[in-house]
Structures are given as structure tokens and as C-alpha cells.
Copies of this chain bind each other. A is one copy, B any other.
């Protein structure tokens, strides 16, 4: 049986924060578990954000004033929703632009550019 391989973990390093900020920007507000599931789904299981990586990141973003939180109770269980502040929105845009630029540079460095005019 074929197991869809995840990317080696080094690759996620450095992009996780960008992914999370961008999701929050697009979705308005999300809670931690939801973020892990959405990334898993959107990446066809090739990116699985671990809780040990995500929650500390979210806490750090809150501490730095890039996100605010809002708790909601589903029955007896709490959900902690995160949404971007203005600062976080700026940061999200910057991060996405930088990563996009970086990927262009990488494509050039690795000679991955198709023969046509784009890149």
C-alpha cells in the first residue's frame, strides 16, 4: 500500500509562520486544530503541522501583538480563535511576499524555470 510521503521536516522550517499568518488572513479567524486540519487537507496530507510547533507559534504571535484571541465554548470544550491584528496583517503580507520572492530565486538557482518566459 502506498503511503503518501510527507515532505522532510526541514522544509517546513521557516515557512510555518508564513503559512499560518496567510491562512488567518484569508479565513478571518481560525483555531489551532482547525489550522492543522486545513493545512493537512490543502496539502493532500503532505504537510502535517504538529501541535508542538503550532501552539508555541500562536502564543508567540499573540505575545508580539500579531494576533488576538477569542475563546468560544462548544459544549464544555473550549476553542481558542485567533485573528490577525493590523500588525499581523502587515506581517502576513511581508512574509508571503518574501517567501514568494525566495521561491523565485530558488527556481532560478536550481534551474527549475521552464523554457517559456515566466518564472
| Residue of chain B at shortest CB distance from A110 | B22
Q: Give the CA-CA distance A19 to B19 in the complex, in Å.
A: 23
The main secondary structure of chain A at its interface with chain B is helix
Q: Is the CB of B110 within 8 A of A19?
A: yes
Within 8 A of B (CB), among A99-119: 99-112, 117-119
Report copies per complex: 2
**A84 CB → nearest B CB, Å:** 15
Interface assignment of A43: CB less than 8 Å from any CB of chain B: yes
Interface assignment of A8: CB less than 8 Å from any CB of chain B: yes
* Residue with the greatest number of chain B CB neighbours at <10 A, chosen from A8, A18, A103, A119: A103
Interface assignment of A55: CB less than 8 Å from any CB of chain B: no
